[in-house]
A and B are shown apart, each in its own frame.
Chain A
């Protein structure tokens, strides 16, 4: 906990300094004869046994930070007499203020005839300075001077800038109807109106692709993984955006996805350098993933080797982790670790315990998609005028059995 500034001794030298330098910066606590104007005060008699108090002999203003959380404070004003005895709760408002840009929201209560307390409604911001004031004359009959303290919430300890630890899909060739990226950060990032941090450039034409992203923030619960979607309205055939603007990607062209280095983490540190990923648009993909065509390499019994599944093409990284699992033939889940390799076209499962001989099955959610949003359940787009076109199949779990030989 740090009060800004540190020195608080009632000496002739300090009084002179306070009188000459009439701005709040170098003064921790003090009192004034009238309510100060916004953002300005004239402290005259800084007193107090420690750095978090100010007193005029009648009233004492004290800042009480929580021991383990300096962003949480309570402001206490105490009186030597029963000064607050006549003040009901409705009249207390405005007696105490905590201000950064403006007075903060908070609640004030009368604890006793001699004490009132104010608590900000929300945590203070790390690294920010606050002015704390007791304003006894403001609409009240209380006889006393304005008291003032300054409080700085410590900035978080310096830490490395956030990084993008992974960006999926990892393939250098994406289908022309590619749908989404997963961007994994080393820590939670700042939310809200993030779209200016992204850019897609058509490298062959040396120009940005206009407005390619779906402006819906979809974060994982730990706020470390963002799903960045291409706008479905430009991917879907026949939808107005696709008709009027065309598709986002053109087969054969090279593109670069950029994430601005200006994007700050939740604790306020920017990425620092831009993160880019170049890729080429391949042919559009309208084929559904086919579980029957997966090439399964079955490990030996009593080994802890990985079960390896070749998927034939890149699949959705997140869904490969959430919607593919190994079960016994009776449906009991087998514990283990999932990895994806070969640009998310190989799914491997390493069991916690060695494989026992017997029948097992892969249990795959029908929502599992390839990179173009075609799922086991249905193609991304179904042509309902074409009877030969594959339609939608029931949602649920699909199974593929395999056997660990004795």
Chain B
């Protein structure tokens, strides 16, 4: 196997950064709609062992990770109708979903939430805890819950290879990136993480063309370790393709992925430090005020530690000026968000006030609108849908970013 180490070249601070054009440029020629992205499409018989993270590609194709068996499923939802975004907030959405599955709110786990950018319909991957059943549900603009009928769905499944052994125990993210689909996989055995690249069109049952790279991280310019990626987005920067990814609990880092060979090793460049104990969950980019912003919401690791509280919720979100993604090779100077921990005796009200005062550095802003947000997805530039946790109550609502 050829092994190649790629290091990051110096990138200027003035960058042309953008989300990967999701054109499916290498998709099947002569095909239309979802068939540009899919090959050897199966109809019916789709079952998830353990449904996971999701994202929309184009043409109503939904990419879904099957955590239980290390595979990626692309579903032709056929959901390309006119826009009907969520009209009003749905309170206790976990109870609503659980009821539709015949159980209580405590009996379901909402694994992920995404929005079909074509029409605003919301998709939820859900596990019913009692029997481990995976459900793919939708919520339309009127707040009505429905189930995607997997037994009739057009789909393809690609299993991520593991040197002949299926070692991928969890797929932590899957995204369309130009002419390929990228997936991040973690092992339940060795401490390793791989980014898998799957060329378009995605062909059912064909893993032969999938290649993988291992991701590493260097702390303080000294300690290099393997670094499992928890969530990521692909971006283009001066014509080159990168992924911006987060680990379980380290800075947000940027990885170059152009020209890699199978088995290559890529080192991430830390670009933003959100403070220890924060695990970024979702990421996307939007433009406003003449700037491009990276938005992420995080699951706070220290939330239950009374001496290290950071606001009343476990979840918060921020936006980061994309200029920070031009950082150079080491994370020594990674932009670090200002953090003032709250005292053990602070009330939620005090916490909220102090939380709102925490500013800086310039271009790294905590967003009030993302407070308590467990999941967020973009509908149209600054228009988003959020799944918000308010003291244990989950609501689904539309929001506009500042």
- The interface of chain A, by Cβ under 8 A from chain B, is 100-105, 107, 120-126, 128, 130, 179-180, 188, 190-193, 210-211, 214-221, 223, 225, 227, 231-233, 236-241, 243-245, 266-268, 316, 318-319, 322, 365, 367, 369, 373, 375, 380-385, 392, 394-396
Contact = CB atoms under 8 A, between A and B. Distances in A.
B135 A122 contact: yes
Contact of B129 (A104, A126, A190, A365): A190
Given A240-B276, A369-B190, A210 B250 contact: no
Given A218-B170, A220-B188, A221-B69, 12 more contacts: A103-B99, A105-B147, A215-B279, A218-B186, A221-B68, A231-B249, A244-B277, A245-B276, A322-B189, A367-B189, A380-B225, A394-B1
12 contacts: A104-B102, A130-B102, A192-B129, A210-B304, A215-B299, A227-B169, A237-B219, A238-B222, A239-B219, A266-B131, A384-B221, A395-B3
Contacts of A121: 135, 147, 149
Contact of A385 (B133, B221, B263, B277): B221
A216 B222 contact: no
B44 interface: no
B222 A396 contact: no
A394 B4 CA distance: 10
Contacts of B98: 101
Given A218-B187, A385-B221, A241 B192 contact: no
B223 A241 contact: no
Closest 4 CB pairs of A and B: A102-B99, A192-B109, A240-B276, A218-B188
Nearest to B109: A192
Given A221-B68, A395-B1, A105 B101 contact: yes
A105 B100 contact: yes
Interface in B321-350: none
Which of A105, A107, A395 has the most chain B CB atoms inside 10 A of its CB?
A: A105
Contacts of B100: 102-105
A351 to B, nearest CB: 21
Contact of B192 (A105, A267, A367): A367
Interface of B: 1, 3, 49-50, 67-69, 96, 98-104, 109, 111, 127-133, 135, 137, 145-147, 149, 163, 165-167, 169-170, 172, 186-192, 218-225, 228, 230, 247-251, 263, 265, 273, 275-277, 279, 299, 301-302, 304-305
B270 to A, nearest CB: 10
Contacts of A126: 131
Contacts of A120: 102
B224 A125 contact: no
B266 to A, nearest CB: 13
A122 B147 contact: yes
A395 B170 contact: no
A122 B128 contact: yes
Contacts of A221: 49, 68-69, 166
Contacts of B188: 218-220, 225, 227, 318
Given A105-B146, A192-B129, A240-B249, A216 B102 contact: no
B223 A382 contact: yes
A179 to B, nearest CB: 6
Q: Is the interface of B mostly helix, strand, loop or mixed?
A: loop
Contact of B149 (A107, A190, A193, A225): A107
Contacts of B251: 240
B132 A233 contact: no
A381 B146 CA distance: 48
Given A101-B99, A101-B102, A382 B225 contact: yes
A216 B305 contact: no
A201 to B, nearest CB: 16
B68 A223 contact: yes
A233 B102 contact: no
B10 to A, nearest CB: 19
Contacts of A180: 191
Given A128-B102, A193-B109, A383 B222 contact: yes
Contacts of A381: 223-225
Given A101-B103, A383-B222, A384-B218, A191 B301 contact: no
Contacts of A365: 163
A126 B131 CA distance: 9
B249 A241 contact: yes
B3 A100 contact: no
Contacts of A394: 1, 3
Contacts of A125: 102-103, 128, 130-131
Contact of A233 (B103, B104, B130, B250): B250
B186 A322 contact: no
A102 B103 CA distance: 8
Given A236-B223, A322-B189, A122 B170 contact: no
A369 B169 contact: no
A87 B275 CA distance: 59
Contact of A123 (B67, B131, B167, B221): B131
A308 B348 CA distance: 61
Contacts of B275: 240
A382 B170 CA distance: 25
Contacts of A105: 100-101, 137, 145-147
Contacts of A367: 189-190, 192
